Chains A and B, each alone.
Chain A
Amino acid sequence: MILEVNNLSMKFDTKTVFQDLNFKLEAGSMTALLGPNGTGKTTLIKILMGMLKPTGGSFKFDKNVRLGYVPQFRNIDAEYPLSIRAFIGLNAHLFKTKKVREQIDHQLAETHLSQIQNTRMGEASGGQKQRAYLAQALLDHPNMIILDEATASLDPAAKEELMGLIKHLNQEHKITVLFVTHDIPLAKKYMTDYLYLNKGTIRQGKMSEFKEDFE
């Protein structure tokens, strides 16, 4: 067990986002967090990341968990000056010793960005940017990674590349994956389990048995 959520509830003022959520995630699992837009998927993630306080209930990560988190939106415009390498390095030690440089090299290779590491982030494609966000999070050596709508704005080829990468991280490095999306076909192709958040409640099961169609 890497995460256990008990009776988790969240309200903004009088509006209940969700009530009494209960679920558990196994270490090494690959779970899609599904649900229509506006059901509180990002809110749930922010609570798990400690960025929001729930109004009720609790959750517990395994004591050995090291979380990596790739948020949904970033402020990277076309004029953004840092290279892909420098962007990833924001999450590394200030002084780029040989060891730090090697860690960055490793994550660049892992996310297939070595060739274009000196391209400016502002000029990178959507898929390259997403892989850079992932590489930046991987510098923390996480054993669980949470991705929020990472494929939302990507073209089909870039989606496949990113998902292939995530699958590789799960299979080769045993990283637990929690993947927020509303793309059901993609989730069916790559994820093994699902959490379905809708109308304030949550359901859990095997992705292959997922029936709901909310789109």
Chain B
Amino acid sequence: MFQYEFMRYAFLASTFIAITCGVVGVYVVARNYAFLAHTLSEIGFAGAAFAVFIGIAPLWGMLLFTLLGSIGVGELSLHSDQKESSISAISALFIGLGVLFLAISGSNSRYATNILFGSIIGVDKQGVIQLVVLSILVLLLIILVARSLNFDSFDHIGAVAHGVHTGWVGIAFLVSLAMSVAIGAQIVGSLLVFILLTLPSSTARYIGKTIPAMIGWSVFFALFGVWAGLYLGFITNWPVTFFIATIEVVIYLVAYTLHVIKHR
């Protein structure tokens, strides 16, 4: 399998993406941002379609839209009374825009499929370098604010009481989340990127009792799903995204069931 250059690139890029999404996911779940992550991935879809329309790489369009979107949606979700409705409205608007951009750019439907469902097998050397650099940037940003982010995400009221600058921490995290959505979408597509950002970390919550333990398990499950998905995709020729989604869901359901049985 590794004799093929495209598989080597796919594995390398996926490894970094899985680590990033595994780490960021722990905070996504702790902060109750699963819905926000999903909305950002739809905004990312519009961004990628926009990039196709103006003729640049989808990753950059996605990054631009998710970064702007994360601040906008973040503000809304903090200050709006009708948080879910307003976020839904934004999702709808951006999916509509994405469809429009694809239509007027005259691109074929394969492009849309790649954006929505991922195309890690098609990533080239330059793409790998971009994804690895972006992943490292996200991880550095998280490490930079880690102490405050931990406190704010797992005990917001306590963090405020101890004078943590929760506003700045929130913005730093939204930026990391936006970048994670954009790079994660490169493997599993914008429609399913929230899988990598929520399921491994949700599973990890049933196992880990400390933040480092949760991050460890979350990264482990993300990596396992992505690696196994690539391998199974390679030998069956079925979509990698299908395998990753299925593996993560099964792991989550097993952990959830065990948790329910244990606490009954």
A interface, CB within 8 angstroms of B: 49-51, 69-71, 73-76, 79, 81-83, 85-87, 89-91, 93-94, 118, 120, 133, 136-137, 140
Shortest A124–chain B CB gap in Å is: 12
15 contacts between A and B (CB under 8 A): A50-B163, A51-B161, A74-B155, A74-B158, A82-B154, A82-B210, A86-B211, A87-B155, A91-B162, A93-B147, A94-B147, A94-B150, A118-B209, A136-B155, A140-B162
Query: Chain A contact residues: over half helix, strand or loop, or mixed?
Result: loop
Name, among A74, A83, A90, A136, the residue most crowded by chain B CB atoms within 10 Å (CB to CB): A90
7 other A-B residue contacts (CB within 8 Å) besides A136-B155, A136-B158? A49-B161, A74-B155, A81-B206, A83-B210, A87-B155, A91-B158, A118-B209
User: Which residues of chain B are near A75, meaning CB under 8 Å?
Assistant: 155-157
Given contacts A81-B208, A86-B209, A90-B151, contact A71 B158 (CB under 8 A): yes
The answer to the question of B100 belonging to the interface, with a C-beta cut-off of 8 Å to chain A, is: no
User: Which residues of chain A are near B151, meaning CB under 8 Å?
Assistant: 90-91
Shortest B181–chain A CB gap in Å is: 23
Tally of B interface residues using CB under 8 Å: 21
Asked whether B209 lies within 8 Å of A90 as measured between CB atoms, the reply is: no
The answer to the question of B133 belonging to the interface, with a C-beta cut-off of 8 Å to chain A, is: no
CA distance in complex: A74, B157 (Å): 6
User: Which residues of chain A are near B163, meaning CB under 8 Å?
Assistant: 50
Flag B235-250 by CB within 8 Å of A: 1 or 0 each. 0000000000000000
The answer to the question of B205 belonging to the interface, with a C-beta cut-off of 8 Å to chain A, is: yes
Asked whether B155 lies within 8 Å of A83 as measured between CB atoms, the reply is: no
CA distance in complex: A73, B163 (Å): 16
Asked whether A81 lies within 8 Å of B160 as measured between CB atoms, the reply is: no
CA distance in complex: A85, B209 (Å): 9
User: Which residues of chain B are near A118, meaning CB under 8 Å?
Assistant: 209
Residue of B at shortest CB range from A87? B155
Name, among B146, B154, B206, B208, the residue most crowded by chain A CB atoms within 10 Å (CB to CB): B154
Shortest B78–chain A CB gap in Å is: 15
Contact of A90 among B150, B206, B208 (CB under 8 A): B150
CA distance in complex: A136, B154 (Å): 13
User: Which residues of chain B are near A50, meaning CB under 8 Å?
Assistant: 163
Asked whether A83 lies within 8 Å of B147 as measured between CB atoms, the reply is: no
User: Which residues of chain B are near A120, meaning CB under 8 Å?
Assistant: 209
Residue of A at shortest CB range from B263? A123
Asked whether A51 lies within 8 Å of B211 as measured between CB atoms, the reply is: no
Given contacts A90-B150, A94-B150, contact A133 B210 (CB under 8 A): no
Name, among B160, B210, B214, the residue most crowded by chain A CB atoms within 10 Å (CB to CB): B210
